[in-house]
A and B are shown apart, each in its own frame.
Chain A
């Protein structure tokens, strides 16, 4: 099984190394950039607020980066199998769920690089900056949260990418049907808000996508 995993990991690295490298560079740079100019202890309260606003603005990039990485890595994981109509994968001598697990695991191992880059970049940023009194740095919490977001994004897009064009079609039809129901409901003045309901279920804690929402702060009070 280890030999199989190494083989899958190698192919996936070959297909997605550009994504991994660019993602790692971005993940390393964002925390450093977010604390640019923070190395002054003589900040007043107003400047501290500016710093927090800057950190918060840069913080919006973490969930975007996690989503982009999850999406691109998931697409890369299945692209070759889709091109070969899955014939090669389906004729390999292992249970299909094991093959899926190998692909998923290999992708996640590769995503460890940008996650580590967030941790290293955040730690470096914090070490090289002198934070105003009253502010705390949370590099580990930020990295853990980023790891969780990457995992969720990768898992969701991996599942969608694994499906056939028919599966993608079904998902699109479900979304289109929801939009249609919402339009009809609003024309008929019915008190139905599917998207608010979906938003509550998905994005508010403990929804599966809640990790992407809220503030991503490397430095906070």
Chain B
């Protein structure tokens, strides 16, 4: 039997990564997702996605300018952020981010410039340059968590993939909401984009399925790995973060949207698709919170 252990005195230091980091992950995810969606029309030539091309890349730029502000505000020495360039350490995942967060918005601005000008050839070139950038700008955030090996919830090779897929999920959902607002308030014909929203809903439900599958993989392995991993699995299944994880992320953010997007009775109505998109966005925000804050709630010392 395990002996009773009672820790009378110990020292703990404040959790290093706070809410701004979760918000940063959320915003880059949205940005990468909406950029990739915009290249569907202009990079891959899928005509029906043309209306979201320009809107997608503009949102990607705005979000990716907002996202690093969270990072700089979170620094203890915000005025020293330039140290990241001259004193870089190539082994650190934050260094990957330094370059990606500089190159990706630049590329997106050039891409949107040519798109606005109607120069299809250059748009396609910069779209294709942007795809690996968008994938890595969010994939690297997964590496930030995965490579800090102190925490069992983070230290998994699934993390970059999980972050990428959840970026796609939240990015598509945000574009659905954006298009719905656009047609409701800024278009002559109030139903001009109905089919587009339904199509995006179909892509969304596929990505949600994939996201749920990855979460399942992650949880099953966490459950059967070492003690710490088991503790963190129980933390999000039955512990302090179970409401956020099980109910908000999985049920509200994934299962209910799947019902809305796939049951024929709901499928016909645009309202349900947009509601599903809103729920998905809430669910992914909860996922970022559970990952960043939940991961640190297990004491290390």
The answer to whether A and B interact is: no
List the interface of chain B (C-beta within 8 A of A).
none
Residue positions of A touching B, CB distance < 8 A:
none
